[in-house]
Structure 1
Amino acid sequence: MAARGSTALHLIRPLATLMPAVRLADRVVPFSRRALYTGISMSVFLVCSHLPLYGVPAASAGADPLYWVRALLASNRGTLMELGVGPVVTAGTVMQVVTGSKLLRVDQNVRGDRDLTDAARKALAVAIALAEAAAHVLLGMYGPVGALRGALIVLQLVTASVLVVFLDELFDKGYGLRGCSAISLLSATNTCGQVVWHAFSPMTVNKEFEGAVLAVIHQAVKAPRALVATMLRRHLPNVASLLATFLVLLAAVYLEGVRILLPLQSRDTRGRRATFPIKLLYTSTMPIVLHSAAVSALYMVSQLLHYSRFLGGTMLARTLGVWKQASHAAVPVGGLVYYVTPPASFGADPLHALIYVALLLTSCAFLSQAWAAASGSSARDVARQLADQRLALPGRREGSTYLQLRHYIPTAAAIGGLCVGALTIFADMTGVIGTGTGIMLAATVVYSLIVSFHKED
């Protein structure tokens, strides 16, 4: 059926044929093949995450200005995955908000509209990748590079982002494990890679293994009396942070499975019954992802102002953030960015810790409810979908389904956002490997894998 949505959609029709596309699976893809495609996708992403960019001077390494956002974007500095999943996530969020708020009229029942919307999302992701890659080169992230090498670096970064767009398309069209999106999988892959490396790294620092597990085994053989000190060491990954990581991961996986089932019955067919599940984590990890994206944008704006030749030191720059250069990255020491950054401990600065906790919990609860409304999963949207299927709560009058859902869904969205925020705070305070956001994304993937394997059994 021809597209009949917003006229703006038709403007990108010439670009639709240029975007990477995967044919929708016309039959159920066998589990073995979906597992194979998933493994290949993860392997390709990991390889690209370790391939250095060609043309980048070796002397350009220094403090990383994007250190604080790399866990969210699943990016590795100086590699093909410098931009990570950032362009795809940004494009998807923008399109979701634009279509959910009806700024762009899209008829989801018309295949032409769906195809054009999908093409618009991919074209926007490529455009964002091009803009970010050009900004990286022009702002001197890779040192002094000429026009030719700069263009080559931009081409590599955009090509890698097109590859991420293709992998995302592969999962959307049914060739990946069920319930597992490519973006979540790639972000979780990056986080899990850090966890495995911190646990089993064979590199040595001052004659100590960097990997916590190898260090404990080596110390148990060499000097058992110093075993506890090795397990709690602070200068390198330790067993306590490794255990905290798995504890947060298990707690998040458990909460992903908590739900209530609302009984439904058909208004047309007697005896036909169904259930509608309302998860405790109604919007999953989207609240912390959106919060982290907003904080990441604030970091970048604040750093640009702080180090600006003209605006550095002004009231606006100091209000947004004051930064101090460290060996690995610029560290916030004042302003708004200081209070949205996880503190090292509650005792170091109690006011910082309390403001951070309050801002994160409030933000996650609000963003969870806002995302439910923007993504078409609010109480009104769900009630309309059930009405279209001629399903309603048993023993209720016409229209009462919405009133009942209005009691459950906003509450589940708010409480779910608070739970995600609380787990993230616990993760950041206990020094988990990676970040709280990365561990939460990994938990959603682990839960999806468990459900997928269970259904196959």
Structure 2
Amino acid sequence: MSLRESLEPIFNRLPAVASPEGHVHFKNKLMWTLGILVLYFALANIPLFGLSSDSIDLFEQYRAFFAGASGSLMLLGIGPIVTASIVLQLLVGADVIKLNMSDPADQAFFQGAQKFMVFVMIVLEALPQIVGGYIQPDVGVASALGVTPSIVTGIIFVQICIGGILILFMDEIVSKWGIGSGVGLFIVAGVSQQIVTGLFNWGIDTTGLPIGILPKWIYIVQNVGLDYIATSEGVMFLLIRGGILALISTVAIFLIVVFAESTRIEIPLAHSAVRGARGRFPVKLIYASVLPMILVRALQANLQMIGLLLSGRGI
């Protein structure tokens, strides 16, 4: 029995979201998508039980790509899904795993292998953070429960794995029953949340100013004199600390991306069998979209995590 024949029964037994038997109405797709979006935001705001405030999120600087939220059930975000996809694509592309992606049987095997690899990556991305000491248990919680901190650490590990599994099936639900891809939905949701928070957050930063741009402007109007704002120093204050430059940059980048995404390059075509028959084939200017950036950031994040763990061990 070959390795593939041994693995296929395992892949077939993996839990999966049932595919729709017929056409899914747009209204139902919209409801499923909105439901998963609400569930995602809810899970992203549920903190990990027993997590210490001294814990370090290794993927904090990659949240725009990995979605999720620090210290929550969505700690891993879409990292395991993207990493599993990278590993399998490399193995198939290098013919280490020989698959014909035009064959339905090979496609089913690839999808099963990808899901199995996601489960593996959930453990491989959660366990090193705990073993490396970046995710630490709350000693107070352990004392209140009458258990050792290692027990609380195990509970945290289980919660992280549950969150990773949930986001996997949420992605599968959106892909089969919703609109678009769950991975893209979670990224957009995370970025949108950051934009809304950056606009309306009334919290105070270390400089004494509100974090959100609109509350910051209200504070400046109420507490900073117009004489100071009219000076060159005041203008720089508004541009940098007032968030005007950040807002202009964000809007400009958004408009540039929308323009580039909507731009098509028309390639002229000529029919060899019919003389005079000509046509044009439109190709997107940004054909690959943001997928290469996500894949590169996922690879970078995993290499950085491995490097930090080895550095912590003195290697």
SS state at 2:254 partner:
helix
TM-score, structure 2 normalization: 0.80
Residue of structure 1 in register with 2:216 after alignment:
215
CA drift at 1:123: 1.0
Residue of structure 2 in register with 1:404 after alignment:
none
* 1:34 partner letter: K
1:301-312 equivalent positions in 2, closer than 5 A: 301-309=306-314, 311=315
Residue of structure 2 in register with 1:253 after alignment:
258
Residue of structure 2 in register with 1:36 after alignment:
31
CA drift at 1:220: 3.1
SS state at 1:108 partner:
coil
CA drift at 1:89: 0.4
Note the residue ranges of structure 2 that are not aligned, 5 or more in a row. 138-147, 230-234
Q: In the superposition, relative to structure 1, how do residues 57 and 217 fare at CA in structure 2: closer, same or farther (>3 Å)?
A: closer
Give the distance between the partners of 1:109 and 1:274, measured in 2 at CA: 29
Give the distance between the partners of 2:136 and 2:122, measured in 1 at CA: 20
Q: Does 1:170 align with 2:173?
A: yes
CA drift at 1:169: 1.5
CA drift at 1:251: 1.0
Residue of structure 1 in register with 2:131 after alignment:
138
Q: Which residue, 142, 155, 170 being the options, matches 2:158?
A: 155
Residue of structure 2 in register with 1:413 after alignment:
none
Give the distance between the partners of 1:188 and 1:124, measured in 2 at CA: 24
Residue of structure 1 in register with 2:17 after alignment:
22
Give the distance between the partners of 1:257 and 1:9, measured in 2 at CA: 43
1:101-120 equivalent positions in 2, closer than 5 A: 101-120=94-113
SS state at 1:208 partner:
coil
CA drift at 1:187: 1.6
CA drift at 1:86: 0.4
1:374-389 equivalent positions in 2, closer than 5 A: none
CA drift at 1:48: 1.6
The answer to whether the 8 A contact 2:74-2:167 is kept is no
Q: What is the CA RMSD across the aligned residues, in angstroms?
A: 3.1
The answer to whether the 8 A contact 2:264-2:282 is kept is yes
Residue of structure 2 in register with 1:424 after alignment:
none
Residue of structure 2 in register with 1:96 after alignment:
89
* 1:294 partner letter: L
Give the distance between the partners of 1:152 and 1:307, measured in 2 at CA: 23
* 2:216 partner letter: A
SS state at 1:278 partner:
strand
Q: In the superposition, relative to structure 1, how do residues 167 and 233 fare at CA in structure 2: closer, same or farther (>3 Å)?
A: same
CA drift at 1:194: 1.0
CA drift at 1:8: 4.2
1:257-406 equivalent positions in 2, closer than 5 A: 257-262=262-267, 276-309=281-314, 311=315
CA drift at 1:288: 2.0
* 2:260 partner letter: L
* 1:22 partner letter: V
Percent identical among aligned pairs is 25
SS state at 2:282 partner:
strand
Q: In the superposition, relative to structure 1, how do residues 292 and 142 fare at CA in structure 2: closer, same or farther (>3 Å)?
A: closer
Give the distance between the partners of 2:125 and 2:254, measured in 1 at CA: 32
CA drift at 1:224: 5.9
CA-to-partner distance for each residue in 1:202-240, whole Å, 9 max, x for gaps? Answer: 223465322102221343355462564663243xx7122
Give the distance between the partners of 1:148 and 1:155, measured in 2 at CA: 11
Give the distance between the partners of 2:6 and 2:279, measured in 1 at CA: 42
CA-to-partner distance for each residue in 1:7-40, whole Å, 9 max, x for gaps? Answer: 5443332333443422333433222222222222
Give the distance between the partners of 2:118 and 2:305, measured in 1 at CA: 19
The answer to whether the 8 A contact 2:82-2:298 is kept is no
* 1:200 partner letter: F
Q: Which residue, 35, 40, 47 being the options, matches 1:45?
A: 40
CA-to-partner distance for each residue in 1:267-303, whole Å, 9 max, x for gaps? Answer: 999xx99864322212222232233233323433443
Give the distance between the partners of 1:20 and 1:266, measured in 2 at CA: 49
The answer to whether the 8 A contact 1:20-1:165 is kept is no
The answer to whether the 8 A contact 2:57-2:135 is kept is no
CA drift at 1:265: 8.4
